[in-house]
Amino acid sequence: MKQIKIFDTTLRDGSQGVGISFSVEDKLKIASALNDFGVSYIEGGWPGSNPKDEEFFQLAKDKFKNSKLVAFGSTRKKNSDIRKDENIKKIVSSGAKTVCIFGKSWDLHVKCALKTSLKENLQMISDTISFLKSKKIEVIYDAEHYFDGYIHNKNYALQTIKVAIDSGSDYICLCETNGGVLPSYIEKIVKETISLFPNIKFGIHAHNDCECAVANSIIAVQSGCELVQGTINGIGERCGNANLCSIIPSLQLKGKYHCVPIKKLKEITTLSRYVDEIANLIPNDCLPYVGRNAFAHKAGVHVSAIKKESKTYEHINPKHVGNKRNILVSDLSGKSNIVSKADELAMDLEKDKNLHGIINVVKEKENEGYQYENADGSFYILTKKVENKYKDFFTLKSYRVSVEKNADGSIVSEATVKLDVNGKEEHTVAEGEGPVNALDKCLRKALLKFYPEIKTVLLTDFKVRVINSDANTAAKVRVLIETKDKKQSWGTIGVSENIIDACWQALSDSVEYKLLKK
């Protein structure tokens, strides 16, 4: 298997994505996870651009054993002495033993962005790389806008590469910075470039403005590149960077390249979700390999087939990337969907006499606006009710919610709940950050002394969707709640014309599921 170096730039290029801001502590956590995962390089940031990145390098220095920590920066300023360049000084003082330097390969940028001569730009590249090499630093040269530069002025783009090589750069990374070049051009240009510079190590850095970053990265490797730059989950400026969570398994499982330790590939789904959590991003369920829907099956024909042979509708075994199959239950469900979903929930319905009844109830409920694709908890409860195996842990007698806005602008939400718990009436009152939080507090306060195990149950996500928007303010709403305890997570659902009642349904189901499973 050919070794491919993985260069992760989540902490630098990824942090330029809209809505993403990493603290120093965030960066240290992600870097530690990347090191454990086994990427070759971790680009920590630009020490000369902000104090936060400088602090990160001081704290991260010599901390990682599996990955090389990389400082990022640009070539020296035009018409200046490299020894007096403050950005270069800070890169050197960061202590990073590897530096990634970007320079201009497109003459348009030299003239319009740098506003200098083509000759001076070549000298800037040469001076910067030579200076860093004199400090015994490994240099990866990012040839920014290389492909656009090659297309518009091939000779000059190649000159920038030659200067970087002659100055001692260890890697030449060809950058598709605007994300607008298609794979066929990438293949042609990479092959032509590598053929002109034999025995030189090349890399690829692609952006996703045409949804081609992953394809461009893979075809660049197939064309001879030995290093791939990208980010976890493809986060980054504009439409994002090449997604390493797609590139790594594609190369390693399908292309027979070695990117990370084989045993670590099974941790890529966990890594994906960990980065999203720290970045405070809602995970994209439809991401290949690592998304929750990557191996989701809804059509009954598909489910029936994969039960017999998983290869019929799955291109790899989900376990290879630490993911799992997800059988969806909906109005399209047949017997196979219901039985497979029940198996996931440790319920055996294969020969259950109530199976057809369960299917019919699911379809009726979906017609009312319920959707069980991400509501395993509510589906479990529904099934138990149809089987007459459901136990009432509590019964709602009434609830009331009030929202008061004061003159100073503060808003107070208060809920009152009356429950029958094992023949005893529980009447609780609680204030919350909003009506849902207030109801949640009331419910827990009433039940905790009877069922102390719900203390570990936490609400982690809350979504509201209008079902029939043509009804305007009288429309039905669907509320989906994600809940977890120390061992697992589950979804529950509520549907009503009244948003508070839909919330109550989903909240009460979330607790009942926990108690039923026990």
pLDDT of residue 475: 75
Cα–Cα distance measured from residue 172 to residue 454, given in angstroms and rounded to the nearest whole number: 56
For residue 495 the two structure tokens come to 């549907």
Residue 375: helix, strand or coil by DSSP?
coil
C-alpha distance from residue 324 to each of 152, 311, 316, 318 (Å): 46, 14, 11, 5
SS (H, E, C) 502-518: HHHHHHHHHHHHHHHHC
Cα-to-chain-centroid distance, residue 265: 16
pLDDT of residue 347: 66
Angle at 433 between CA 428 and CA 436, to 5 degrees: 60
For residue 293 the two structure tokens come to 């829907």
Residues 6+ apart with CB under 8 A from 384: 390, 516
Cα–Cα distance measured from residue 247 to residue 234, given in angstroms and rounded to the nearest whole number: 10
pLDDT of residue 328: 65
Length of the chain: 518
Cα–Cα distance measured from residue 97 to residue 57, given in angstroms and rounded to the nearest whole number: 11
Per-position pLDDT tens, the chain of length 518 = 899 999 999 999 999 999 899 999 999 999 999 999 999 999 999 997 888 999 999 999 889 999 999 999 999 999 999 999 999 999 999 999 999 999 999 999 999 999 999 999 999 999 999 999 999 999 999 999 999 999 999 999 999 999 999 999 999 999 999 999 999 999 999 999 999 999 999 999 999 999 999 999 999 999 999 999 999 999 999 999 999 999 999 999 999 899 999 999 999 999 999 999 899 888 898 999 999 889 887 766 776 787 778 888 889 999 999 998 876 665 455 555 666 666 666 666 656 666 777 777 877 887 788 877 778 889 888 888 888 888 889 999 999 999 998 888 889 999 999 999 989 999 999 999 888 899 999 999 999 999 999 998 988 888 888 876 565 656 788 999 999 988 888 999 999 999 999 999 999 999 999 998 87
Q: Are 206 and 217 in contact (CB under 8 A)?
A: yes
Tell me the pTM.
0.74
pLDDT of residue 415: 94
Which residue segments constitute the domains of the chain, with CATH numbers given?
2-279 (3.20.20.70), 296-351 (4.10.430), 395-517 (3.30.160.270)
Q: What are phi and psi of 387, to 5 degrees?
A: -80, -5
Pick from 479, 513, 477: nearest CA to 498: 477
Residues paired with residue 426 on neighbouring β-strands, in sequence order: 419
What ranges make up the beta strands (E) of 222-345?
227-230, 257-258, 296-297, 326-327
Residue 240: helix, strand or coil by DSSP?
coil
Helix axes 499-517, 435-447, angle to 10 degrees: 30
Residues paired with residue 203 on neighbouring β-strands, in sequence order: 173, 227
DSSP class of residue 75 equals: P
For residue 234 the two structure tokens come to 């493809």
pLDDT of residue 518: 76
